[in-house]
């Protein structure tokens, strides 16, 4: 809310001058009038006879004294009032200093003149500076999170490439199996390339329209199963009717890679791993459940994969909910905005 | 050499000027310390004028003596109100104390002069 009655500092100082002058004039009149009255009363009560010269002399002294005292009162009053106005300037200067050094500081806003406007502007600049700093910090944090998340996600296909390369170099393998592993290495290399492209593009999305996204998700679940079936028993349940949607395949691959990476690190190999996909009321729900290994050691990268899944689910207007209870790990990822 | 009349006039003018200045500062200045000091000066002057008026009116002018007493009580009341207002942080009490002190000063002044 702004007050439309703006005043100028010069007019306010003139106002103070006028008040001081009026007070001094009133005081002069009062002093002279009453002093003359007191002098007359004194002379009368003391039966003093005064000549005209004496009277004139007394009157002129009263006038002079009255004038001197009035001038003194005028000067003192005006100095007090001016000092009051000017004492605001150091407060404003303190605000400017704080702004310069980047500290948080609010200048008290007094009056509706140029100094008050200056104080308001300084406060606005200080608020803006604070907001910009916060936005910068948030952007920096987001950038670091993206780098951390992508680095973690790159590690999963890289680990697969290393495993398959070791298998290829280990011994005699049938030609079909060798070709299969080479194909997997090629796919994982492409995946790493796409992830580094995301890193270089600053996280830009590449949404593609799928007329039947069910096929895409079935393929992702199949790849998920095949990456884990050597070490785990997988129970997959996909109950999807044909549906259309816009998806970034790289993002979905990262979700499944993070799930499989966590299973490899933390799931109990003696128990089965369950994964299910369903579509209801426009919400695509991906659930995964496994028993947690008793002897896990949480590494530095613990939680980064889950954070990445949550972030990707957020990009589709959804969420990821993680529960760990009685040795069972359960994650439910919901995608809502993909049409 | 100053005569007794000169001294009387000088004293009267000084008290009047000081009273007016203190009263104006009490209302115009925002600084709480200056306001407080001005209030105490005004109350002290009001008390002095009330005492002077009471002394002058003591032998024969009962009405004036009562007015002088009233002015003195108002001056003391103003100081008490200001102290209470400062402790409780009530600005209204502070304003009331200033008005009370100014009224005591004016009444005491007029009573003493008349």
| ipTM for this prediction | 0.85
pLDDT top residue among A172 and A133: A133
Beta strands A234-239 and A273-280, pairing class: parallel
Q: Are A63 and A32 in contact (CB under 8 A)?
A: yes
Write the DSSP symbol of residue A110.
-
Q: Are A168 and A178 in contact (CB under 8 A)?
A: yes
Q: Quote the CA–CA distance of A50 and A27 in Å, as a whole number.
A: 27
**Which numeric CATH code is attached to A208-335?**
3.30.565.10
Contact (CB<8Å) B29/A80: yes
Cβ contacts (< 8 Å) between A80 and chain B: which residues? 25, 28-29, 34
Cβ contacts (< 8 Å) between A61 and chain B: which residues? 6, 9
Nearest chain B CA: its distance from A4 CA (Å): 23
Q: Are A220 and A238 in contact (CB under 8 A)?
A: no
Of B13, B14, B24, the CB nearest to A77: B24
Closest CA to A110 of A73, A84, A134, A139: A84
Determine contact: A69 vs chain B, CB below 8 A: yes
Q: Which residue in the block uniquely carries the two structure tokens 């009368």?
A: A44
| Strand-pair partners of A154 | none
pLDDT band at A181 (very low <50, low <70, confident <90, very high): confident
Contact (CB<8Å) B20/A73: yes
Contact (CB<8Å) B8/A65: no
Closest CA to A276 of A268, A285, A264: A285
User: What are the structural domain ranges in chain A?
Assistant: 9-126, 151-201, 208-335
Q: Quote the CA–CA distance of B21 and A24 in Å, as a whole number.
A: 9
Contact (CB<8Å) B20/A19: no
Determine contact: A21 vs chain B, CB below 8 A: no
Q: Which residue in the block uniquely carries the two structure tokens 């109950």?
A: A239
Helical segments of A46-113, H only: 52-86, 88-101
Write down the mean pLDDT value for chain A.
87
Determine contact: B8 vs chain A, CB below 8 A: yes
Q: Name the residue in chain B with its Cα closest to that of A45.
A: B5
Determine contact: A31 vs chain B, CB below 8 A: yes
Contact (CB<8Å) A27/B30: no
Q: Name the residue in chain A with its Cα closest to that of B21.
A: A73
A313-317 contact pairs (CB < 8 A, 24+): A313/A255, A315/A205, A315/A248, A315/A251
Q: Name the residue in chain A with its Cα closest to that of B110.
A: A34
Interface test with A, best of B5, B102, B110 (most A CBs within 10 A): B5
Q: Are A331 and A263 in contact (CB under 8 A)?
A: no
Give the pLDDT of residue A297.
66
pLDDT tens readout for residues A10-54: 888 999 999 999 999 999 999 999 888 888 888 888 888 878 888
Between chain A and chain B, the number of residue pairs with CB atoms below 8 A apart is 57
pLDDT tens readout for residues A57-89: 889 989 999 999 999 999 999 999 999 888 889
Q: Are A235 and A275 in contact (CB under 8 A)?
A: yes
pLDDT band at A1 (very low <50, low <70, confident <90, very high): very low
Least confident of A3-7, A232-236, A305-309: A3-7
Radius of gyration of chain A (CA): 43
pLDDT tens readout for residues B85-100: 888 888 888 899 999 9
Q: Name the residue in chain B with its Cα closest to that of A32.
A: B13
What residues have CB less than 8 Å from A273, skipping those under 6 apart?
A228, A232, A233, A234, A235, A263, A267, A288, A289, A290
């Amino acid at each position: 809310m702004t007050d439309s009655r703006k005043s100028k500092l010069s007019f306010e100082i003139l106002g103070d001058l006028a008040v001081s002058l009026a007070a001094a004039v009133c005081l002069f009149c009062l002093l002279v009038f009453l002093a003359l009255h007191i002098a007359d009363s004194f002379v009368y009560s003391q039966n003093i006879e005064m000549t005209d010269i004496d009277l004139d002399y007394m009157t002129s002294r009263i006038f002079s004294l009255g004038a001197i005292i009035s001038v003194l009162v005028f000067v003192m009053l005006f100095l007090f009032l001016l000092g009051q106005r000017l004492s605001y300037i150091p407060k404003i200067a303190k605000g400017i200093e704080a702004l310069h050094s980047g500290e948080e500081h609010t200048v008290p806003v007094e009056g509706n003149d140029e100094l008050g406007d200056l104080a308001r502007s300084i406060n606005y600049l200080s608020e803006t500076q604070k907001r910009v700093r916060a936005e910068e910090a948030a952007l920096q944090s987001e950038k670091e999170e993206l780098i951390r998340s992508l680095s973690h996600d790159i590690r999963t296909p890289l680990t697969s490439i290393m495993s398959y390369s070791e298998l290829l170099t280990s011994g005699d393998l049938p030609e079909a199996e060798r070709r299969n592993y080479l194909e997997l290495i090629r796919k994982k290399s492409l995946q790493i390339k796409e992830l580094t492209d995301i890193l270089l593009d600053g996280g830009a999305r590449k949404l593609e329209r799928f007329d039947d996204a069910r096929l895409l998700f079935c393929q992702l679940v199949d790849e998920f199963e095949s990456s884990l079936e050597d070490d785990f028993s997988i129970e997959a349940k996909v109950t999807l009717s044909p549906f259309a949607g816009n998806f970034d395949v790289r993002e979905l691959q990262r979700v499944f890679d993070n799930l499989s990476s966590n299973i490899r690190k933390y799931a109990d190999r003696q128990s089965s791993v369950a994964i299910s996909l369903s579509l209801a009321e426009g919400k695509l729900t991906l659930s995964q459940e496994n028993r947690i290994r008793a002897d896990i050691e949480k590494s530095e990268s613990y939680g980064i994969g889950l954070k990445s899944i949550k972030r990707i689910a957020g990009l589709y207007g959804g969420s990821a909910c993680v529960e760990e209870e009685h040795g069972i790990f359960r994650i439910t990822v919901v995608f809502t905005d993909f049409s | 050499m100053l005569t007794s009349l000169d001294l009387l006039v000088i004293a009267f003018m000084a008290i009047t000027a000081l009273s007016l200045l203190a009263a104006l500062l009490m209302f115009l200045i925002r600084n709480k310390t200056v306001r407080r000091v001005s209030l105490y000066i005004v109350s002290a002057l009001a008390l002095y004028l009330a005492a002077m008026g009471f002394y002058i009116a003591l032998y024969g002018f009962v009405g004036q003596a009562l007015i002088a007493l009233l002015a003195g009580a108002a001056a003391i009341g103003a100081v008490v109100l200001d102290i209470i207002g400062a402790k409780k942080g009530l600005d209204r009490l502070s304003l009331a104390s200033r008005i009370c002190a100014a009224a005591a000063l004016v009444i005491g002044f007029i009573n003493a002069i008349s």
